[in-house]
Structure 1
Amino acid sequence: MPDLPLGPLMVDVGSAQLSADETAFLSQPAIGGVILFARNYRSKAQAAQLIDAIKSIRNPSLLIAVDQEGGRVQRFKHEFFALPAAYRFGQAYEQDPESALPLCRAAGCVMATELIQVGVDFSFSPVLDCANLNSKAIGDRGFHEQPEIVAVLAGAFIDGMSDAGMAATGKHFPGHGGVTADSHFTLPVDDRSLDQIAECDLVPYKKLAAQLGGVMTAHIQFPRINIDAPTFSAFWLQQILRQEIGFSGLIFSDDLSMKGAQVAGNAVDALDSVDVVDQTKRALQAGCDMALICNDPKSAARVADELGKSWAANQPRLLAMRAKSTDRITETEIAKLKDQVALMAMNSA
């Protein structure tokens, strides 16, 4: 197992088993992590074997991530607890704030514990976007429409993740809930002013900055504020997130293969009109610590080859995302937490 610092790229793999070509690819210096999807999962035992194979490639081992929010965004399902959508906790909070918060904390703890048990380091959660049921991207993934309540509920969820030993990653900075379009397929445009964003979408980040290990960017254009989407904007990432909000953790780009990421100053219409190598460099230069390239292995290979050893990733920030102990909470305690959250989900359905 070669000693090799973690690189600034997070990539994916094709199936439930690691191929020889993928093993060689993940050995490249530019790679620092792997994000897993539903196609990579069959069972807890299989996932643990796959993750062990990935982590055995190099030292320090690559970071392992997954989107395990709950509701419609839960990649691992069979043998995993069915997490409610975040909005369910917002509905419960409307009925009884005092009981909703411990339930939200319980959900965060269950989610993190189950993932850590199979070797996952972190989930890209919680969503800090204000809920917008008309938004194709967010919908019920947000906890509540009001940012102060989002901060309170997300804070409880983060506390649960921390109880289990997992760092939290808030997304999608500076906020995706103000637009209806989905950045997977187009570039959403938000015409609000910076004051409007600051009074709403930035509130959870301001309140939770010290509790977050990571923040993931949004592929959205805010033309009244800055021509570049936040993923490629030093204004958003360095001036607002780092300096004004005071966030010191890891900044992830959202997936650079998404249509919404295909921006170069102004929005472009064709995916092939923007080079993914240039886009990755722009994201890293703007302030992203780790860039994600998913579901596009040819582009990921090109970027990894182009970056090589030339881009020094921030090792302390990367290593801080490593999951902690897997035995902080007993199976009996986890079972009780699952029962409580399941009952809430049933009552709020």
Structure 2
Amino acid sequence: MNEPIHAPLILDIAGTAMTADERRRLRHPLVGGLILFARNFESRAQLTALCGEIKSLRPDLLIAVDHEGGRVQRFRSDGFTELPAMGRIGQLWMQDAMRGLQAASAAGYVLASELRACGVDFSFAPVLDLDHVDEQGASRSSVIGSRSFHADPRVVTVLAQSVMQGLALAGMGSCGKHFPGHGFVQADSHVDVPVDRRGLKAILAEDARPFEWLSLSLSAVMPAHVIYPKVDGRPAGFSARWLQDILRERLGFAGAVFSDDLGMRGARVLEGREIGFTEAALAALQAGCDLVLLCNQSPIDGGAALDQVLAQLELAAAEGRWQPSAESEARRQGLLPQQAPFSWDELMHDARYHLALQQLAL
């Protein structure tokens, strides 16, 4: 195909080294990056070599990972700091607000500087979901829970802003998730299709507030695979009303929009109908996503599903069923780090890094 003006697909690889098929896919002009998982990590040396090889294929590929702290942290050994859950930082804020801010900035700096020292460009953090609780005081959402800073959108916003400051100090952008809020629903969108029956006014007054207040400074946003039927019958990640009318127009967000993983159950049902990966990708792009994630498919049948999606996206562009976007591509390119990272050895001698580690001693 001719070189497109938009590389929207973020995919994965199966193991700690790339196969020939995976190298071929990463060279495809519709691929804009990849997401790493714990299965892709054996050691810092291996991870650094893997990221270097990826960049040698195409320097503009965005290498990303879900690395939030707490239970969502892909790399935990061989020197990587075990980061606290953001809920722990929220608890610290309640005891000592300034210590909470310090710890949040420190978490962002340690997170980003360690990843960048190994060649990773971007982490899908921070979580902006509110930690809604039930009548017994337990988190309503098992999939969010301690990943959230707090139940109060003001606390979430202030602490997330501090994490983002730490990320930026290490040259990494930020991704607020899961717009407009996943914390009120009990179902897990990995395995179910959650439904939040509140109205738009309530959602905008509570869960969407951190996205509104941080709209100028967030690099990216990831919508939830949650249906809010009083606003739209489609999950937020497939909804032009949520992504264009509300996120872009009403809240003024101008950064990149990632879909959440299109392999999740919450992304595979649209208006009551089962859909495949390509239809999900097209629906997300047409709704207003700049980039779409398709995770955990490379280990299955040699990644046949990824090849099928690439071929069908190519066909959709040729037939005019999907219009590649120069603006979306510019947003993707804007997520690439603009400053060189420390090497790991340099990081170990960085005074700011050691101060951040001290401030993370909760």
Task: Name the TM-score class by shorter chain.
Answer: over 0.9
The match for 1:140 among 130, 142, 146 is: 146
Give me the whole-angstrom Cα distance separating, in 1, the residues matched to 2:210 and 2:236: 17
Say if 2:338 is the partner of 1:324: yes
Indicate conservation of the 8 Å contact 1:127/1:170, yes or no.
yes
Q: Secondary structure at the match of 1:240?
A: helix
- Return the TM-score normalized by structure 2: 0.89
- The correspondence of residues 172-187 of structure 1 with structure 2, limited to 5 A, is 172-187=178-193
State the 1:301 CA deviation.
Answer: 1.7
- The correspondence of residues 110-189 of structure 1 with structure 2, limited to 5 A, is 110-132=110-132, 133-189=139-195
Indicate conservation of the 8 Å contact 2:126/2:175, yes or no.
yes
Give me the whole-angstrom Cα distance separating, in 1, the residues matched to 2:6 and 2:353: 33
Backbone CA RMSD of aligned residues: 1.7
The match for 2:237 among 231, 234, 239 is: 231
Say if 2:70 is the partner of 1:71: yes
Give me the whole-angstrom Cα distance separating, in 2, the residues matched to 1:213 and 1:206: 13
State the 1:53 CA deviation.
Answer: 1.0
- Residue 207 of structure 1 corresponds to 213
State the 1:293 CA deviation.
Answer: 0.5
State the 1:300 CA deviation.
Answer: 2.0
Give me the whole-angstrom Cα distance separating, in 1, the residues matched to 2:269 and 2:245: 20
- Return the TM-score normalized by structure 1: 0.92
Tell me the amino acid that sits aligned with residue 339 of structure 1. Answer: Q
Say if 2:283 is the partner of 1:282: yes
State the 1:38 CA deviation.
Answer: 0.1
Give me the whole-angstrom Cα distance separating, in 1, the residues matched to 2:114 and 2:252: 31
Tell me the amino acid that sits aligned with residue 81 of structure 2. Answer: F
What 5-or-longer segments of structure 2 have no aligned partner?
Answer: 133-138, 298-302, 318-322
Q: Secondary structure at the match of 1:186?
A: coil
Which shifted more, 72-81 or 307-316?
A: 307-316
What 5-or-longer segments of structure 1 have no aligned partner?
Answer: 345-349
- Residue 334 of structure 1 corresponds to 353
Q: Secondary structure at the match of 2:64?
A: strand
Indicate conservation of the 8 Å contact 1:228/1:263, yes or no.
no
- Residue 246 of structure 1 corresponds to 252
Say if 2:86 is the partner of 1:54: no
Tell me the amino acid that sits aligned with residue 19 of structure 1. Answer: T
Q: What do the CA deviations read for 1:225-252 (whole angstroms, capped 9, x no partner)?
A: 1111111100000000000000000000
Paired residues in the alignment total 336
Q: Secondary structure at the match of 1:94?
A: helix
Give me the whole-angstrom Cα distance separating, in 1, the residues matched to 2:156 and 2:304: 38
Give me the whole-angstrom Cα distance separating, in 2, the residues matched to 1:32 and 1:69: 22
Give me the whole-angstrom Cα distance separating, in 2, the residues matched to 1:220 and 1:23: 34
Give me the whole-angstrom Cα distance separating, in 2, the residues matched to 1:320 and 1:29: 17
Q: Secondary structure at the match of 1:69?
A: strand
